[in-house]
A and B are shown apart, each in its own frame.
Chain A
């Protein structure tokens, strides 16, 4: 493997469409649940909650896909762990965009097969795991990409939504780094167990407010972000 491939895949400028999504931050800002960088209504608390729930689930799926678990079963497991219809739509949209970019960047028979199986898009973490595999990266790399994206998306969105100081937002991400390491370790362990025991071994952490506010957000007539 080449470590530089990890930077290509994790780069916010990788053309996979992530910039159009706020990871629930837009709904939380509008509801007054994020008002600044830290504190009870802070971006940091928001990202931390997201990291240990939806973030761990996504990273587990990505790690399992990178390890070669059956992507169709992983996609079903992602559906069962994403009860919000709006979030399933967003995950498939992101998966489809990532698929397009990844196939052009790292051509792979496995990516081609997944694209044929899910013409409207597979869940993004599953595509991410296979893209990492195609790029010669491992499960840990896939989990790191997933976990970083899970918090950097809301951080970037909050800078735009609240005019939050970008230095403060980046400070939040840096403070969360040790917790990202922890979540990656748990995700990779779960991914390994998934290969041996099946998808029930994957984490299933849920964040009720992310699920609820995704449906609230989907009902708005005008939005800055797609989710």
Chain B
């Protein structure tokens, strides 16, 4: 018997409340994707993604949509790592993120890691669309396998557009069944944690940070536009987080 996967879409809307804070007129969790508003920090509203079930499992299709209005400030974190697991149903799981930020709005998207467990198959697609004048900090971290375990199959595409122009379009494919060489000296070289951090700030129009290597396994590079990308690899999630945190702090 095969079971159909779970379909779930969580939605967040953040708006300037006119009193120096951010309101959340839409905060809709769905099935396994629960959302909690946590204590705000100044003008910024904070939302925590809470996994109410395990997954995504094979065949599941999860989506999270967040839209940040003019002048609103939203921080999204997650209570725990997302764990891609093999399912009983056939086929891969999908996880889609659709994030939009209006002029003068800010999104800080800082969830915990995605862990690709042996036997799982997950395709992640993240699309971030910013209006000119919007601000973004977007972090994604992938951990290939639990401790000492082979990873599952993971494909993750990240697209960032500013004013309709694509600033970044990147896809990582790894795990059994991915095209050859994914674990070799050009791609991951045996590293089991990889991460990207995208920072978009209007003030980068005036002055863009210089490209630089952060040791042998991480680098910060300006994109073509007011944005930088930090790319990092590490042996484990803890070390990866440290590198990304330091890189973010170095941007001031």
Show the binding face of A for B, using Cβ within 8 Å.
24, 28, 31, 33-34, 40-42, 45-53, 76-77, 79-81, 83-86, 88, 179, 199-200, 203-216, 218-219
- Beyond A46-B186, A83-B221, A84-B221, whether A215 also contacts B211 by CB under 8 A is yes
Minimum C-beta distance from B237 to chain A (A): 15
Minimum C-beta distance from B229 to chain A (A): 5
The reply on B250 being an interface residue by CB < 8 A is: no
Q: Are A203 and B171 in contact (CB under 8 A)?
A: yes
> What interface size band does chain B fall in?
35 or more
Q: Could you give, for residues 215-249 of chain B, a 1 whenever the CB lies within 8 Å of some chain A CB and a 0 otherwise?
A: 01111111110000101110000000000000000
The reply on B180 being an interface residue by CB < 8 A is: yes
Measured between alpha carbons, how far is A215 from B213 in the docked complex, in Å?
5
Q: Are B172 and A208 in contact (CB under 8 A)?
A: yes
The reply on B37 being an interface residue by CB < 8 A is: no
Q: Could you give, for residues 174-193 of chain B, a 1 whenever the CB lies within 8 Å of some chain A CB and a 0 otherwise?
A: 00000111101111111000
B221 proximity list for chain A (CB < 8 A): 83-86, 211, 215
Measured between alpha carbons, how far is A118 from B188 in the docked complex, in Å?
34
Measured between alpha carbons, how far is A154 from B39 in the docked complex, in Å?
53
The reply on B168 being an interface residue by CB < 8 A is: yes
- Beyond A31-B216, A77-B169, A80-B166, whether A210 also contacts B186 by CB under 8 A is yes
Q: Are B184 and A46 in contact (CB under 8 A)?
A: yes
From B168, B187, B222, give the contact of A85 (CB < 8 A): B222
- Beyond A49-B182, A84-B219, A215-B221, whether A208 also contacts B166 by CB under 8 A is no
From B182, B190, B217, give the contact of A212 (CB < 8 A): B217
- Beyond A85-B211, A212-B217, whether A80 also contacts B194 by CB under 8 A is no
A84 proximity list for chain B (CB < 8 A): 211, 219, 221
- Beyond A204-B169, A212-B231, whether A33 also contacts B185 by CB under 8 A is yes
- Beyond A33-B189, A49-B186, A205-B173, whether A83 also contacts B181 by CB under 8 A is no
From B171, B222, B223, B232, give the contact of A206 (CB < 8 A): B171
Q: Can you report 17 residue pairs joining A to B where beta carbons are below 8 Å apart?
A: A45-B185, A46-B184, A47-B186, A49-B181, A49-B186, A53-B181, A80-B167, A80-B223, A83-B221, A84-B219, A84-B221, A204-B157, A208-B187, A208-B232, A212-B217, A212-B218, A215-B213
From A34, A200, A203, give the contact of B185 (CB < 8 A): A34
B168 proximity list for chain A (CB < 8 A): 80, 83
The reply on B2 being an interface residue by CB < 8 A is: no
Chain A at the B interface: SS class: helix
The reply on B212 being an interface residue by CB < 8 A is: yes
The reply on B170 being an interface residue by CB < 8 A is: yes
Measured between alpha carbons, how far is A86 from B233 in the docked complex, in Å?
18
B219 proximity list for chain A (CB < 8 A): 84, 211-212, 214-216
Minimum C-beta distance from B239 to chain A (A): 15
Measured between alpha carbons, how far is A86 from B172 in the docked complex, in Å?
20
The reply on B165 being an interface residue by CB < 8 A is: yes
Minimum C-beta distance from A55 to chain B (A): 10
B216 proximity list for chain A (CB < 8 A): 31, 212-213, 216
Q: Are A50 and B212 in contact (CB under 8 A)?
A: no
Q: Are A79 and B186 in contact (CB under 8 A)?
A: no
